Amino acid sequence: MIVEPGKTRIGWIGLGVMGRSMCGHVIDRGFAVTVYTRTRETAESVLAKGAQWADSPKAVAEQSDVVFSIVGFPEDVREVILGEDGVLAGGKKGDIIVDMTTSEPSLAVEMYEAAKARGMSSVDAPVSGGDVGAQEARLSIMIGGDEDVVEALLTAIPGVVDVQYEDSGAGDAYLVTSAPGQDVRDPLAKAVVDGGFGLRELRTMDMTLEDVFLRLTNEDRVEA
């Protein structure tokens, strides 16, 4: 499996403060990108960079090999991925879905299984770093998915410098960080980002993967 500019078509759903910057970096890497967001005006900056517009998540999937989504809430994720006009409805065998929304682990598993049943792959990849981190391509990303799929995706994710692997029960779990040395008040988040702890070490602290997600996205955390 190879993901590379000029060969892989990228879809992007959700162009809020973080999504616009992240999508822009993917375009800058030379990927052809098709986008959808609820309000077309928010897509103007990436359309100006060369992205193509689609009228629905399904239409994005029909024109893409890898579809990224970063939307507001779990119910939004369910709508754009699993809905009647969602990504799964427009995808084909071999496609990859990457949801970067801070959502629910149970929904990530549901999406993984639904995609697998269609011969597709689904990767859960919530991000930490805020709008500044997105602008500067220095986000930290918690990734759950199959190892070969995650490895292939790294060429499309700006700024990745480190990956940690550990079995999670539904595919694998990874800690991908593009910003070692972030100023993080939360000691667990700092240990994860700076020290590169694997999930096995986190489990010795009686932390579930959901606990890690919540801690890494806590409002008290501050990135430099």
The mean-pLDDT minimum among 47-51, 118-122, 185-189 falls in 185-189
For residue 123, being part of any structural domain is answered with: yes
Q: Can you tell me the mean pLDDT for 118-128? A: 88
Inside any domain, residue 59: yes
50 falls within a domain: yes
Whole-model pTM: value is 0.75
Asked if the structure places residue 102 within a domain, the reply is yes
Rounded Cα gap, residues 94 and 51, in angstroms:
23
Q: How many CB atoms lie within 10 A of CB 222?
A: 11
Where is pLDDT greater, at 119 or 136? 119
Per-residue pLDDT reduced to its tens digit, 131-179: 887 887 777 777 778 878 888 887 676 554 445 444 433 444 444 444 4
Residue predicted with more confidence, 107 or 93: 93
Q: In whole angstroms, how far apart are CA 224 and each of 25, 185, 193, 221?
A: 20, 11, 13, 10
Are 126 and 100 in contact, with CB atoms under 8 Å apart?
Answer: yes
Specify the DSSP class assigned to residue 82: I
Residue 221 within a domain: no
- C-alpha to C-alpha distances, 146 to 1, 78, 110, nearest whole angstrom: 12, 21, 15
Average pLDDT over residues 45-69: 97
Domain around 120: 9-216
- Highest mean pLDDT: which of 102-106, 169-173, 208-212? 102-106
Residue 77 inside a domain? The answer is yes
Domain of 77, CATH number, reads: 3.40.50.720
- How many whole angstroms from its chain centre is CA 5? 18
Q: Is there a domain that residue 2 lies in?
A: no
Overall domain count for the chain: 1
DSSP type of residue 56: S
Q: How far apart are CA 187 and CA 193, in angstroms?
A: 10
Residue 28: inside a domain: yes
Name the DSSP letter for residue 87: H
